[in-house]
Amino acid sequence: MPFVRIDALGADSGRLDALGRAVHDALVETIGIPPNDRFQVLTGHDGTGSTLRYDDYLGVHRDDGIVYVAITLRSGRTPAQKQSLYRRIAELAHEYAGTEPRNVFVTLTENESADWSLGDGVAQYVLPPDAAGPPPTAGD
């Protein structure tokens, strides 16, 4: 159940859609997120009314093609899985949206099952006190 926020400078709806597909496809391929588990907020910034700031931190030269990808998901991935995810997002963002891999900035925020309500005011991943068995697992 990842929640994804993508912010891109100078992005129209077509580029935002391509970036959203790139991130989702990478999540499905690298860490086994179910294909129908897509929750995204895609925001384009025009550089005037809203913008993104960046520098060349750690020697990575970024430019106006910058894309910030913030992913919140339940904890449990290994460092190797995270590295694969970052790499695949950068590859697919380049393939689908023409975004240079150096311009793809990704952060992961992990939390626990009780931190999610998927609707109806219910924490679906948490068992009620009278239920038996482990909480449901849905690929993430």
Question: How far is Cα of residue 62 from the mean position of the Cα atoms in its chain?
Answer: 19
∠65-37-99 over CA atoms, to 5°? 15
Tokens (6 digits) for 128: 């009620």
DSSP letter at 134 equals P
Whether 136 is catalytic is: no
- State the amino acid at position 19 in one-letter form: L
Residue in 2, 34, 35, 134 annotated catalytic: 2
Burial 67-84 (b: 16+ CB within 10 A, else e): bbbebbbbeebeeeebeb
Q: How far is CA 113 from the centre of its chain?
A: 18
Q: Active-site residues: which are they?
A: 2
